[in-house]
Amino acid sequence: MADAVFRSGSKILLFYEPTPFNFANQRIILKNNSSLPKDTLLIYTDGACSGNPGPGGWGCVILTPDLLVTELGGKQSSTTNNRMEITAALSALCFIENQPNNVLLFTDSTYVIRGMTQWIFAWKKNNWQTSENKSVANHDLWQQIAEVVLQRKKKYSTDIEWRYVRAHVGTAGNERCDHIAVSMCHNRSYSFYQGPLDNYDLDLLSLPDFEPLPTMHKHSSPKKAYSYLTYINGVVSRYSSWTECEKHVKGKPGALFKKAQTAQDEIEIIKKWGLNPQKTPIFES
């Protein structure tokens, strides 16, 4: 489990199988014509990782029905992006263990949403083995979050809706979680907020429009990479092949590297590394 940073001092605890989300049509009308079901906990989560595997971080923003905001975050020295995404959701659900409300949880991780709403039932039935009889990736975290949700369902009979939100489109809660996760990933100091929504610097009550999960495509031959980026000693370099990139990073502690499929991917990778794409030169190698 990642090291946790909880402003409230709450501990991480230890999923239930999600049931259809039903709030008996009771809704609170909020800003910008958005709405939130009455007495609902609103959660945003996100994870980040440099190198994948490499140092990682996660972040959460939680809004209670009485309009109190809590930010959470944590880090791990060697992990993957998927593990940080699961850890963010797990940590948020652990934090609200004693709050008997329905939950609306936003994440930009299709892996987390599909895992929780589609795949996990077969995994549990098959003793955390895939259909190829291989161990489910990150099964330790999936088992923990499964238990958290199951106990929550038994204790309160409340529901969790797992809602997809696209990353980097200006959704306030998602952007803040990304900022926390990246800060934790790069070991930067961050002042976690806990207090009333009125004093918070974001409008969490403007919910994003519903967006379906992107379509899963069948596995095919890997696409040729647009480029391979490295970040070593403050210098970002571009390589056309993994062989060249590997030679450059091998044996160099702290080296960051990532495959990009498009020019936009390069921009997002540089952002994830905590750099400004407009001010960061890329050296061709």
Tokens matching residue 152: 């929550």
Active site residue 57: no
The answer to whether residue 209 is catalytic is no
Q: Which of 59, 73, 74, 108 is catalytic?
A: 108
159, 161, 178, 266: the active-site residue = 178
Q: Where are the alpha helices (DSSP H) in the chain?
A: 81-95, 110-114, 120-125, 139-156, 172-185, 242-249, 263-272
∠ Cα 44 170 115 (to 5°): 40
Set 47, 51, 56, 57: catalytic member: 47
- For 115, phi then psi, to 5°, come to -60, -45
- Catalytic annotation present for 85: yes
Q: Which residues pair with 162 in a beta bridge?
A: 105
Rounded to whole angstroms, the Cα distance separating 22 from 103 reads 11
Q: Which of 46, 50, 64, 48 is nearest to 8 (CA)?
A: 64
For helices 172-185 and 81-95, give the axis angle rounded to 10 degrees: 120
Concerning whether 284 is annotated as a catalytic residue, the answer is: no
Within 8 A by CB and 6+ apart from 133, the residues are none
Of the residues 3, 17, 140, 168, which is catalytic?
168
Query: 38 in helix, strand or coil?
Result: coil
- Choosing from 71, 85, 159, 161, the catalytic residue is 85
The SS3 assignment for 200 reads coil
Active site residue 47: yes
Distances (CA, A) of 153 to 66, 95, 101: 22, 15, 10
Is 168 labeled as catalytic in the residue annotation? yes
Residues acting as catalytic residues: 46-47, 85, 108, 168, 178
